[in-house]
Amino acid sequence: MRHLFTGLICVLIGVGIQMVHSSSLTSMPGQRETVFLSKHLTYLMFAVCCGFAASRVSAELLKTNAWRFFWILVVLLVAVLIPGIGTRINGAQRWLRIGSLSLQPSELGRLVLPLVAARIVTELKFGQGFRLKSVPWTLLPLALTLPLVAKEPDLGATVFLAAGFLIALFIGGWPLRYFVGSAMLIAPAALSLLALKSYQMKRITGFMEAWQDISRAPWQIRQSLLSLGAGGLEGAGIGGGWQKLSYLPEANTDFVFAVIGEELGLAGTLAVVVIWMGVFLTGRAALRNLRRDSFEWIYGSTLVIQMVLQALANVAVVTAMVPPKGVPHPFISYGGTNLLVNITAVGLITGLSRHGAADGKTKTSTISDDDVHPEDAIHTDDEPAVRETPSSSTDDAAVTGTMQRQCP
């Protein structure tokens, strides 16, 4: 099942390469038409190397260094907000420039925060237990990272990071009463932290108006729905779409699913949705050999759920089911850090599933049917086996003679 899981991911990556190329053909007039494709392939090669390395990392190493990774993440999130270090694009300061490439630290949180949550919940479960006094320490990672991400500002990343952390706690068995109690206590602070800016309010009001009158919808939503509708059942063919010709903003990133709808039609969009259903099922099945309360199961399952939720959120934005927000489509949208994080997550999932398969084989080979003898199955060390030894003919004769002498 692990191979089928990675195979479906490879299909999505292939679709992404084609769609990034198609949606970027005329997005930069006067420059090379393949400029985005070249950078995407560069990101992809680096991401594949990171994914392969992640698949070879042991679960024990991940668990041991979880807090180290977390503090590195905090340092990067602080560095982004420092003028002259962080890069501001479209009013948001979310990126670190590394030569010609850029890194978005908040995306790395989708790997690190579930890792820390998985370690915390397993230590509590097999240690002191889920006690009330452990709640502040459990939620400390969120308290340190979410304000930094919201300051960038990035409302979508803030919500996704919180969701990934809480999903890991929920899978790990953190008591529901602590979820409810924590939500009631931090609700005022969360509302002030996530206070909507004017442009965010415009997105929400525009989204609500879109369902009343499409002509009053924001430009992005309107063009996205036009792209999906223009594709029909079979689409205009790869490269045949016209909305990407500067009509649809962010055609190669957040709204690449609309380009799929226009060029591959309803059949193409449904195929992508079915593939994601397969990713969820095969990803969970690949982890089935792990104990349900183990660190590996909690972390691996959270990574699978996170990827699928991000894909669903992107589809919901493109189809105007939720207010527009910059949510890239995993493996398909153009973007270096997003591609790096998702392929690394795939490597971690396959590595964790391989660890579970190895444990299963070890247990099977340790106790086999050939090693169990009938007398071992019946008798234990506490009850030593009582074996009957046949009496010899000499002993029988001695007993008979003794009985004759005692008779009168």
Residue ranges per structural domain of the chain:
2-359
pTM: predicted TM-score of the whole model, two decimal places: 0.83
212-225 pLDDT per residue, tens: 777 777 788 888 98
Rounded CA gap, 333 and 253, in Å? 5
Q: How confident is the model at residue 149 (pLDDT cuts 50, 70, 90)?
A: very high
292-305 pLDDT per residue, tens: 999 999 999 999 99
Q: What average pLDDT score do residues 195-206 get?
A: 66
% of residues, the chain, pLDDT over 70: 80
Rounded CA gap, 2 and 166, in Å? 26
Q: How confident is the model at residue 379 (pLDDT cuts 50, 70, 90)?
A: very low
239-260 pLDDT per residue, tens: 888 877 778 888 888 999 999 9
Query: Over the range 192-203, which residues count as b (16 or more CB within 10 Å of their CB) and which as e?
Result: ebeeeeeebeeb
Of 36-50, 81-95, 190-204, 375-389, minimum mean pLDDT range: 375-389
**Nearest of 31, 51, 44, 11 to residue 346 by alpha carbon:** 51
Is residue 76's pLDDT more than 60? yes
Whole-number pLDDT of residue 375:
39
**Nearest of 318, 314, 315, 311 to residue 207 by alpha carbon:** 318
| Tokens 């490879």 sit on residue | 10
Task: Count other Cβ atoms within 10 Å, centred on residue 395.
Answer: 10
Is residue 106's pLDDT more than 90? yes
Of 23-32, 128-137, 272-281, minimum mean pLDDT range: 23-32
Of 41-50, 92-101, 390-399, minimum mean pLDDT range: 390-399
Whole-number pLDDT of residue 325:
78
Mean pLDDT taken over the chain: 82
Q: How confident is the model at residue 264 (pLDDT cuts 50, 70, 90)?
A: very high
323-354 pLDDT per residue, tens: 877 789 999 999 889 999 999 999 999 999 98
3-state secondary structure of 101: strand
Rounded CA gap, 391 and 333, in Å? 85
272-286 pLDDT per residue, tens: 999 999 999 999 999
Please provide residue 23's backbone torsions phi and psi, each rounded to the nearest 5 degrees: -75, -10
